[in-house]
Amino acid sequence: MRTFLLTGLSFIIFHLSFSSVSAQVFVELNCENLFDIHHDEGKQDVEFTPDGTRRWTHTRYWRKLNAIGQEILSCSEELPTLVALIEVENDTVIKDLTRRSLLRNAGYEYLMTSSPDVRGLDCALLYQPARFRPVCYECLTVPPLEGMRPTRDILYVQGETQHNDTLHLFIVHAPSRYGGELETRPYRQQVTSILTTALDTLITKNVLVAGDFNDYADSPSLTALEDAGLLNVSAKATGATGRAEGTYRFRGEWHSLDHILLSPTISQRMDSIYINDAVFLLEPENTYGGWKPRRTYNGYRYQRGFSDHLPLVLRLN
């Protein structure tokens, strides 16, 4: 495990953070390919470069950073205390997001993984130092099974809230269903196996597990976590405006691949959970009707959107 120094907040963000001290807001968001514009040697990220197939330019990169910042800030009236980000490439991206984008005055510090994922994608946690003080963190490697590509590490963070409660956080990005749900199911269950082992001595404490599991609430990888003692509090979450019935839409049907699970102790403090489906995060679904997330790319067509996932928002008392 690693330890580190913390930095202070600006006066403005100090005021925002404590404008409603009774509420702690946690956000989980898959950012949909938040890459910088440079190729990292050994990683399959060339398509997200200026000369790549997606023509990922400096302008598009900074527009994406500000879009993610806007999305986070729109999740609640209070500045979120903790934000779990999925599909972020590296330290450069998160540093630009927290220091130079629309979030630059929010005072966020961050922790992130450095995974063996072949595309170079990682998980990150943004936190307000005045309301959450990390004590230690660890990157939990998921050993690949036969035929399985190296995947993202699980980010584990232990920290203290402003009321001196200890919180254990696990941020997850499980392998996708590409290649078939049944064929890839063991890969996601491998992630669950690592999680349940880590949870063995923590289940009676304050535990929060969140991320993109690439599975639904009734999938074996999620029900195994419930069997281990966690509660999937996001299983029936819907949009705050009533437009979204899940965090992700595929062929006209809403589903939730993103989940938040709590241990029984901390679940007693849950005030509410919802999906941020603000209208500017959506676009009309012309083929099937209704709405869908306004993503950055539709295929290879750039459309100046946000993400193909909507944020999950948890409020704790």
The per-residue pLDDT for range 70-122, each reduced to its tens digit, is 999 999 999 999 999 999 999 999 999 999 999 999 999 999 999 999 999 99
pTM, two decimals, is 0.92
Give the pairing of strands 297-298 and 301-302: antiparallel
What is the residue-averaged pLDDT of the chain?
93
Average pLDDT rounded to a whole number, residues 198-225 = 97
Alpha carbons 133 and 158: distance in angstroms, whole number:
9
**pLDDT digit string (tens) for 135-150?**
999 999 999 999 999 9
- Helices and strands per DSSP (H, E), number in the chain: 6, 18
What pLDDT does 170 receive? 98
H helix or E strand, kind and range, residue 30 = strand 24-34
Distances (CA, A) of 231 to 179, 234, 247: 29, 9, 18
CB 121, CB 139: distance < 8 Å: no
| pLDDT at residue 1, as a whole number | 47
